[in-house]
Amino acid sequence: MEQYLPHYTSGNSSLCSPLSFPSVDLPNIEVLALTAIPRENYTYIPSTAPPPFSTPITGLNFCNVTVSYTHPGWNDTIVTSIYLPAKNWNGRYQAHGGGGWVTGGSGTLFTGFMSALADGFAVSTTDGGHISDFAALAGPTMPWALTSPGNVNWPLLVDFAYVALHDTALLSKSAIHDFYADPLKYSYWFGGSQGGRQGHMFAQRYPEDFDGIVALFPAVCYIQLFALIAWPMFVMDKEGVYPPPCEIEAITAAAMGACDTLDGVEDGMISRPDLCTFDAHSVVGQAIDCEGVPSTISKGAAVITQASWDGPRSSTGEFLWYGYQRGSNISVLGAPAGTICTADNSTGTNTCDANTSLQVWFNYWVQKYPDETIRNITHEQWDDLVYASAQEYESVIGTCNPDLSRFKRAGGKMIVWHGLADNLVTANGTADYYDRVTARDPDVHEYYRVFLAPGIGHDAGAAIRVPDMNKYIIDWVEKGVAPEVLRETGMDVKGNPVERDICAYPKVQHYIGGNSTKAEAFKCV
Ligand SMILES: *[C@@H]1O[C@H](CO)[C@@H](O)[C@H](O)[C@H]1NC(C)=O
Ligand SMILES: *[C@@H]1O[C@H](CO)[C@@H](O)[C@H](O)[C@H]1NC(C)=O
Ligand SMILES: *[C@@H]1O[C@H](CO)[C@@H](O)[C@H](O)[C@H]1NC(C)=O
Ligand SMILES: *[C@@H]1O[C@H](CO)[C@@H](O)[C@H](O)[C@H]1NC(C)=O
Ligand SMILES: *[C@@H]1O[C@H](CO)[C@@H](O)[C@H](O)[C@H]1NC(C)=O
Ligand SMILES: *[C@@H]1O[C@H](CO)[C@@H](O)[C@H](O)[C@H]1NC(C)=O
Ligand SMILES: *[C@@H]1O[C@H](CO)[C@@H](O)[C@H](O)[C@H]1NC(C)=O
């Protein structure tokens, strides 16, 4: 990325020692240790990151400041990392968020932390007091949720939800003040999924912390979102059906066939899911190929798929939350309707079951006794779990408050990019949040813009790349140029290079003619 400001010369690596950071402290914390280690000509090799973040970054020169601290009486130990460019500081600070059950820390590095450092940002991230290993926290057990059966580890939950995040913003700004002769010009947040929720939490609760917030596929309205994530398994248990992924994939493909062209062009994605009313039951009985085995689409698979699209309801039929958009890959490994199947070759049977890893919110934080199953509960018991979840946690981590007036007054700007085919965090929740912000303030576009991207799932490793979010947020914050569209580039489903200009919600993309791999073939209506 280009440098937007002249390079600062004041980052002096011989100042990279703990003695140089006297103001890195806060009234509500006790610093346990502070290390500051100069790194010169450092090469960062991402280990597990997907493209485009997997390319090694060479020639990094920075001061690696690590602060370990506790909130006295809370028995938490938080490790916050602050990397300060020694030679090419661009006058900006960018904090990076986490994902899944990771607050941030080492698990976040792939999301662009080191590339932002290379671009000259001072960067920070925090582990929030618990492990940062995505994979270790993706399973059915949650090592940091409880202090003992029945007892939530409240300090770690609020650290994850907001406390350690706000601490990190303040500690990092102090470190920047101590290290550079020149003042900090602009502060930014960058995060996706959990990190997108965290970005919204700052706008709602700490509106002064950042001038600009990038929130990708944000898990806003967290409490309601978990009712959706848990819903397909609840319906499977209720119906006693656990369809193999191939059946739901076939229904998804049929929905794609019915709705792909609603925007005027066939391009392997549903760009107008709002117009798509395809009924999963309409293909029951259709012959399909299930990984080489001839099969048919069952009624059970249609029930589970339709329920995932419609979203959770109470026992009396009350709306609880939105569902997934048709065309989302809801049955892939790790997605909410993705079952785990075991084939028995001797009997020729294939036995499937739901994936309980997606139930940890209800198992651990809501129910608090993870050994007690939430399988095959009644619909009334389901209602009780959803109710308890909201009662206990909405103000803690819900991140659903549409009052962004303080953020607006502070002059903040926030950009959201969210895939319409998101198969974990539904984009419907993001659209709803935007609508509720708009209902309070019709001038929402002055500080908050949402871009819903057709055909994109819940990851940054898709063939179509995440737009250059830092460029957009910097232009908006520093030059007053608000993004009208976000340019995406990458490959389409056929492997051809493709570009798209993603429209600012509530506008949607419509094909007007010409080569559909070119942005000019579409307009926002
Ligand atoms: C860096 O800081 C040290 C310690 O304050 C000082 O002696 C040295 O002259 C500085 N170097 C530059 C290039 O400013
Ligand atoms: C930086 O490290 C690379 C190897 O990673 C080496 O080729 C290069 O010479 C080093 N540059 C300096 C200035 O030390
Ligand atoms: C920064 O310092 C911490 C604490 O010593 C260490 O764990 C970490 O690996 C260092 N990071 C780099 C990139 O050197
Ligand atoms: C503090 O936390 C540690 C684990 O992080 C635990 O082993 C210890 O028992 C806790 N102490 C108290 C007083 O709760
Ligand atoms: C739930 O009940 C169904 C029968 O409706 C049964 O097939 C299934 O094995 C049960 N699941 C669990 C985890 O107990
Ligand atoms: C279950 O879901 C989790 C979380 O999405 C995922 O990481 C894991 O791979 C899935 N497990 C299996 C066996 O499919
Ligand atoms: C969904 O799965 C299909 C078939 O495997 C694949 O072509 C498509 O890229 C996937 N879509 C997303 C958004 O991941």
Q: Answer with the residue of higher pLDDT: 522 or 7.
A: 522
Catalytic residue among 115, 132, 187, 193: 193
Q: Does residue 420's CB lie within 6 angstroms of at least one atom of ligand 7?
A: no
Q: What is the pLDDT of residues 454-480, one digit of tens each?
A: 999 987 545 567 889 999 999 999 999
Q: What is the mean pLDDT of residues 104-114?
A: 79
379 assigned to active site: no
Count Cβ atoms within 10 A of the Cβ of residue 524 and give its class: 0-12 exposed, 13-18 middle, 19 or more buried.
middle
Residue extents of the structural domains in the chain: 13-222+400-490, 224-395
Pick the residue whose CA is nearest to atom 10 on ligand 6: 334
Q: Is 10 close to ligand 2, i.e. is its CB under 6 Å away?
A: no
Q: Is the peptide bond before 506 cis (omega within 30 degrees of 0)?
A: yes
242 Cα nearest atom in ligand 5: 7
- What is d(CA 123, CA 275) in angstroms, rounded to the nearest whole number? 42
- How much distance in Å is there from the Cα of 234 to the middle of ligand 6? 17
Q: Rounded mean pLDDT of 507-513?
A: 93
pLDDT at residue 268, rounded to an integer: 87
Q: What is the pLDDT of residue 11?
A: 60
Query: Residue 3: its pLDDT value, please?
Result: 37
Residue 333 beta carbon below 6 angstroms from any ligand 6 atom: yes
**Span 364-399, pLDDT tens digits:** 999 999 999 999 999 999 999 999 999 999 999 999
Residue 173: strand, helix, or coil = helix
Residues 90-110, mean pLDDT to the nearest whole number: 90
pLDDT of 494 higher than 80: no
Interval 10-42: pLDDT, tens = 566 678 999 999 999 999 999 999 999 999 999
pLDDT given at position 48: 62
Note if 458 is an active site residue. Answer: yes
Closest by CA position to 70, among listed 146, 161, 167, 152 = 167
Q: Indicate if 422 belongs to the active site.
A: yes
Average pLDDT over residues 260-272: 92
Confidence (pLDDT) at 318: 98
Per DSSP, the residues of 432-500 read: HHHHHHHHH-TTGGGTEEEEEETT--SSS-SSBPPP-HHHHHHHHHHH----SEEEEEEE-TTS-EEEE
Ligand 7 binding pocket mutation candidate from 329, 332, 465, 493 (most atoms within 8 A of CB): 329
First-residue to last-residue Cα distance in the chain: 31
Burial of 106 (0-12, 13-18, 19+ CB in 10 A): middle
Q: Which residue has the tokens 């059966």?
A: 149
- Structural tokens at position 22: 């006297």
Closest CA to 229 of 92, 337, 341: 337
CB 342 near ligand 2, within 6 Å: no
The closest ligand to the CA of 425 turns out to be 6
pLDDT of residue 12: 65
Confidence grade of residue 50 (pLDDT, cut at 50, 70, 90) = low
Task: Evaluate: CB of 329 within 6 angstroms of ligand 7.
Answer: yes
Among 15, 21, 84, 179, which is best to mutate for testing ligand 1, by the most ligand atoms less than 8 A from CB? 15
Chain centroid, CA 22 distance in Å: 35
pLDDT, position 339? 97
Tokens of 160: 């994850």
Banded pLDDT at 508 (limits 50, 70, 90): very high
- Please, which residues bridge with residue 213 across strands? 189, 414
- Provide CB contacts within 8 A for 272, sequence distance 6+: 259, 262, 263, 508
Nearest atom within ligand 1 for CA of residue 15? 2
Task: Provide the residue type at 457 as one letter.
Answer: G
Residue whose structure tokens are 């490994």? 333
Q: Give the distance from CA 171 to its chain's centroid.
A: 24
- Average pLDDT of the residues in 235-243: 98
Query: What is the distance between the alpha carbons of residues 148 and 161, in angstroms, rounded to a whole number?
Result: 20
**Which ligand lies nearest the alpha carbon of 375?**
5
Class of domain 13-222+400-490: alpha beta
What's residue 2's pLDDT? 38
Residues 230-236, mean pLDDT to the nearest whole number: 98
Q: pLDDT averaged over the chain? A: 93
Looking at the DSSP assignment, which residues form a beta bridge with residue 67? 34, 80
**Where does the pLDDT of residue 229 fall: very low under 50, low under 70, confident under 90, or very high at 90 and above?**
very high
473-493 pLDDT, tens digit each: 999 999 999 999 999 998 877
From ligand 4's centre to the CA of 144, what distance in Å? 12
Report the residue among 375, 377, 379, 381 best suited for mutation to probe ligand 5: largest number of ligand atoms under 8 A from its CB. 375
Given the CA of residue 13, which atom of ligand 1 is nearest to it?
1
The pLDDT value given to residue 6: 42
Q: Ligand 6 mean position to 132 CA, how many Å?
A: 17
- What average pLDDT does range 180-199 have in this prediction? 95
CA distance 393 to 277: 34
Please state, as a whole number, how many other Cβ atoms lie within 10 Å of the Cβ of residue 369: 11
Ligand 5 in contact with 518 (CB < 6 A)?
no
**Ligand 5 binding pocket includes 375 (Cβ within 6 Å):** yes
Which ligand sits closest to the CA of 38?
3
Q: Give the nearest ligand 5 atom to 240 CA.
A: 5
- What's the gap in Å between 256 CA and the centre of ligand 7? 11
Mean pLDDT across 342-362: 91
Query: Which residue's CA lies nearest to atom 2 of ligand 7?
Result: 329
**Confidence (pLDDT) at 198:** 98
Band (pLDDT 50/70/90 cuts) for residue 45 is confident
